[in-house]
Amino acid sequence: MTQLHNIAPVYDQNSRILILGSFPSVRSREVGFFYGHPQNRFWRTLAHVLGDEIPRTVEQKKVFLLSHGIALWDVIASCEITGSSDSSIKDAVPNDIGGILDAAPIERIFTNGATAYRLYCRYLQPVTGREAMCLPSTSPANAVWTQARLDEAWAVVGKRNAMPFIGEKERF
């Protein structure tokens, strides 16, 4: 059965960074916001690398993102998916990120994990003409990445003048 993305993107006219996931997990779709599973390390990792407190509520998370110039959405608008497994994604239909790119001065695009990166390269990069940098997934399924390693890899999000992109072979 086709699952539809049910979470609106978060961005405003001050967003300089765009972070794209693949598709919301079952838990995220249930709570109606990104990275809703308590074991997902997305919010903890971003708070660590940006030197801020971990946001808890949906409203706090939106304020957190916008206060740091971060836009957040997913590559896929709808797909066939088994549970929350990115590896099971089939018949993907991409989101149109043009509205974000038109409304915000996005300087850098990051993906949360290799699947989001592959999907971005396949569906969105040909349309946008913009490179993305693949960061390691914050999913609890990515257990080989400790919190300390995630913080180190994701630190590039908080670095204003960091090298904006890396190549396919150098990605995580």
> Which residue numbers are catalytic?
40
* Cα separations in angstroms, 63 against 11, 41, 52, 59, 150: 10, 18, 12, 6, 23
Q: How many CB atoms lie within 10 A of CB 11?
A: 23
Cα Rg of the chain, angstroms:
15
Q: If we measure between CA atoms, which residue out of 91, 94, 87 comes closest to residue 120?
A: 94
